[in-house]
A and B are shown apart, each in its own frame.
Chain A
Amino acid sequence: MVVPACRDGRAHSVREVGLFPMKIVVCVKQVPDTESEKALRPEDLTLDREAVDAVMNEMDEFAVEEALQLAERTGGEVTVLLMGPEQGADTIRKALSMGADRALHVVDDALRGSDAVATSAVLAAALREVGFDLVLLGCEASDARTSLVPAMLAERLGLPQLTFAQKVETDGTEITVERLTDYGHDVVTARLPALVSVVEKINEPRYPTFKGIMAAKKKPVRTLDLSDLELDATEVGAAGAWSAVDDFTVRPPRAAGELVKDEGEGGRQLVAFLAGRKLV
């Protein structure tokens, strides 16, 4: 079956509901295990990935789960997209063992040191290459925690961005999300193709089943480098980054807590404390 060509985000999909399977791409990132001690390499101030266990960014697990659920409901298919070094294959395999259909791995030595701007350029090029109706990703990565990539990626692809989604529904033509806000949520609707970033409230990621694990290694994984994406090494990696790490210090030990002694005003003081931190 030929899938319509207009999938680069510059024009609406001409796909008719139910005629073609919805093509969902989930961007996942491999990050250091949040429980391990992290260190920056003194020579270039990038993360020392040798010294830590690498895992799938936790927020991206929710994105994979949501993609699988949407695909199951609409008869779509799920492609995993990862940019990162060779060992990122482990994270790809995890997404495939959860049930994703295929994967795209962008690997190139020149990518080391990419910031959000560079990362979004690479992901955008890969997404144009692979085609999509819907792009899903976690709302932030647990290592850098900038939360910038979803918006940058949507902008580069000219897509409507529906960020911080705690619920997603689609009929294959339009997509509606509940967007988490400080005061509750907004309901946001867009036409496909679109980009959605998810929060952890959205679902409960499935465990890879043993059959899924065994099936994963038979699923197609396509590897691309910068030349395949027609990108120049100067646009990406540390060379193409708009931000740079100059220095770092270890986080100071946690300061002692604030003790509220109740002398008739304890309740008010507690409320003031919480309100001051916008917790109530």
Chain B
Amino acid sequence: MTASAAPRFDPLDPLGLDDLLDDDDRAVRETVRRWAADRVLPHVARWYEDGQVPEVRELARELGALGALGMPLHGHGCAGATAVQYGLACLELEAADSGIRSLVSVQGSLAMYAIHRYGSEELKERWLPPMAAGETIGCFGLTEPDHGSDPAAMRTHARRDGSDWVLTGRKTWITNGSLAGVAVVWARTDEGIRGFVVPTDAPGFAAHDIHHKWSLRASVTSELVLDEVRLPEGAALPGVVGLRGPLSCLSHARYGIVWGAMGAARACFESALEYATTREQFGRPIGGFQLTQAKLADMAVELHKGVLLAHHLGRRMDAGRLRPEQISFGKLNNVREALEICRTSRTILGANGISLEYPVMRHATNLESVLTYEGTAEMHQLVLGKALTGLDAFR
């Protein structure tokens, strides 16, 4: 074999994982990468500092036009992409900012997925097309002030009143809450936990933003208050009763996070690599020192192992063979490792690592939320522990 026959070594794809992608996959990735480079990256540091995204509705419409909302769902205006393509989109969005990826995850994998999988034809036809277009933003209400990892103990309840349902309760840490035109709210009923599709202009519904947060600052987080919200019978999702409804939605969203976290990690790694080769101390680039090289090598290893894992899970999802425990495996590993990569990148950038001029600290603080939401790292350890031993350590 001649030397010229060996493929080029790409520092940004050292394993040649691009080989796993087909032309469509690459085109999807390119579209999202360019959109994020044009529409998010030039502004995101300012959004983060200000704690608000003034053009968020416009961004949602643009994401809708691309097909990024409810991307792997079929019909009702959704793009019908593969799970791998959806994952690639999540990765590229989160390489810009976890808050933008969160907007897309909550819209597509939580709110739209719930309606798509468990809703009546009437609910699907009413809500999915404007949600796919980004005209209507959705949110997903499961977590409560006193019930996070243990949603089965939720207090929000729905009672029958004639043919109507009447909902009362509070939900918190709700991404997109005050932006939403529709909320998928989970509540206990006499029959068990059920999902309700709540138009946010219904009397008795209110959303209040949560301020003073030091993570996901380019994302809207709210508390939902439901005070005797009256809904017609058809607002209840007919397809599921019990906690497996919301948990299946969370699984779908976690799948996107498995990919997304590697986007945040990639952005930090690239920033650190660039810095290491240009920043000079003791008369030479710091990337020439062994301690820095060890960090870069370890980061690259974990980053691309994580991408490989995400791809493997994507292929299983596309084949209809992905188990929730495997998603827990992916979320536990990839968010934990992404956070470590961000923190290590921060050390390579030295004092500049804490500046908003670089993406590193922003990603690191974002990932503190990502580590916890959609199932904490500890819950995923417990899920895996149970699957490995057959012993349930938390219920």
A interface with B by C-beta (< 8 Å): 51, 90, 93-94, 97, 207-211, 213-214, 216-217
5 contacts between A and B (CB under 8 A): A208-B31, A209-B79, A210-B85, A213-B27, A217-B24
A51 to chain B: which residues have CB within 8 Å? 8
A211 to chain B: which residues have CB within 8 Å? 67, 79-80
A209 touches B66 (CB 8 A): yes
A216 to B23, CA, bound (A): 11
A214 to B86, CA, bound (A): 13
In the complex, how many residues of chain B place their beta carbon closer than 8 angstroms to a beta carbon of chain A?
18
A209 to B67, CA, bound (A): 6
New contact pairs (9) apart from A210-B79, A210-B81, A213-B27, CB-CB < 8 Å: A207-B34, A208-B31, A209-B31, A210-B28, A210-B68, A211-B67, A214-B80, A216-B27, A217-B24
Interface assignment of B35: CB less than 8 Å from any CB of chain A: yes
B interface with A by C-beta (< 8 Å): 8, 23-24, 27-28, 30-31, 34-35, 65-68, 71, 79-81, 85
Main secondary structure of the interface of A (DSSP, over half): helix
B23 touches A93 (CB 8 A): yes
B85 to chain A: which residues have CB within 8 Å? 210
Given contacts A90-B23, A213-B27, A217-B24, contact A207 B80 (CB under 8 A): no
A238 to B68, CA, bound (A): 45
A210 touches B66 (CB 8 A): yes
> Quick one: closest B residue to A93, CB to CB?
B23
Main secondary structure of the interface of B (DSSP, over half): helix
A242 to B68, CA, bound (A): 49
A224 to B71, CA, bound (A): 36
A208 to chain B: which residues have CB within 8 Å? 27, 30-31
A97 to B79, CA, bound (A): 14
> Quick one: closest B residue to A210, CB to CB?
B67
Measured between C-beta atoms, what is the minimum distance from B134 to chain A in Å?
12
B79 to chain A: which residues have CB within 8 Å? 209-211, 214
Measured between C-beta atoms, what is the minimum distance from A49 to chain B in Å?
13
A208 to B66, CA, bound (A): 7
Measured between C-beta atoms, what is the minimum distance from A147 to chain B in Å?
26
Measured between C-beta atoms, what is the minimum distance from A140 to chain B in Å?
22
A210 touches B35 (CB 8 A): no
A214 to chain B: which residues have CB within 8 Å? 24, 79-81
A209 to chain B: which residues have CB within 8 Å? 31, 65-67, 79
Of the listed residues B27, B71, B79, the one surrounded by the most CB atoms of chain A closer than 10 A to its CB is B27
Given contacts A210-B79, A214-B80, contact A93 B27 (CB under 8 A): yes
> Quick one: closest B residue to A205, CB to CB?
B34
A51 to B10, CA, bound (A): 12
Q: Which 6 A-B pairs have the closest CB atoms?
A: A210-B67, A210-B79, A213-B27, A207-B31, A209-B67, A208-B31
Q: Which of B27, B65, B71 contacts A97 (CB 8 A)?
A: B27
> Quick one: closest B residue to A213, CB to CB?
B27
> Quick one: closest B residue to A50, CB to CB?
B4
B24 to chain A: which residues have CB within 8 Å? 213-214, 217
> Quick one: closest A residue to B64, CB to CB?
A209
A97 to B25, CA, bound (A): 13
